[in-house]
Chains A and B, each alone.
Chain A
Amino acid sequence: DSGVTQTPKHLITATGQRVTLRCSPRSGDLSVYWYQQSLDQGLQFLIQYYNGEERAKGNILERFSAQQFPDLHSELNLSSLELGDSALYFCASSRGTGLLTGELFFGEGSRLTVL
């Protein structure tokens, strides 16, 4: 158990819909990262928050947004969903601001299926 909690574990929805994925980081970790993993794209970095502020941005679509709340949990909002958004979405946390400051602890992921 990594200490990172993601909900829901599975989600099935229709195209055009909006969903919210939630992540609770490990106790004491200030950074939260979101990744998307699909068969054809591999593990893609989406966005990172550090202590409530956006720290780094990767290949995140404009239809997607995220935030980190004062209690450090984070939410990833996916809107106007398309079939291609079906993937496993991972949240990870770390103490510091980047990989150099320590390992990332990954949650078990939220599997999103868009029909």
Chain B
Amino acid sequence: SQELEQSPQSLIVQEGKNLTINCTSSKTLYGLYWYKQKYGEGLIFLMMLQKGGEEKSHEKITAKLDEKKQQSSLHITASQPSHAGIYLCGADMGTNAGKSTFGDGTTLTVKP
């Protein structure tokens, strides 16, 4: 999606290393979601961020939304093989419409 840009497109890390995935929009986001997808399977909800400066953590995954609500980062600490998959950020780009947009995803490989 050109409305939401994710970087990097793919990432290969050694088990135990930390990593960060970014999601950037040119517009103010009304809400930002992070999902994880195993290849060929459905998306699994990770976290939702709505307020500027908000930060949430779940186990070893932390997501932040910047003050301007245009950029979010997903940080994984001490990565494990179970973290491997495709991470997608999603956002509602409108005020009333239900149109939802996703980034193109970041494919994470964790080498044991």
Contacts and interface: CB of A to CB of B under 8 A. Distances in A.
A111 B40 contact: yes
Interface in B86-106: 88, 90-92, 94, 96-105
B12 interface: no
Contacts of A97: 98
A35 B94 CA distance: 18
A103 B33 contact: yes
Nearest to B103: A42
B92 A99 contact: yes
A56 B88 CA distance: 21
Contact of A100 (B30, B40, B42): B30
A68 interface: no
A90 B88 contact: no
Given A48-B99, A104-B100, A99 B42 contact: no
B52 interface: no
B85 interface: no
B33 A99 contact: yes
Contacts of B91: 99
Nearest to A98: B98
B45 A104 contact: yes
Nearest to B92: A99
9 contacts: A2-B44, A45-B101, A88-B40, A90-B42, A98-B94, A99-B33, A103-B33, A108-B41, A109-B42
A90 B88 CA distance: 14
A4 to B, nearest CB: 8
A18 interface: no
A45 B88 CA distance: 13
Contact of B104 (A42, A92, A99, A100): A42
Given A56-B99, A99-B98, A104-B33, 12 more contacts: A33-B98, A35-B102, A42-B1, A43-B43, A43-B104, A45-B101, A48-B98, A99-B33, A99-B92, A105-B45, A106-B35, A106-B42
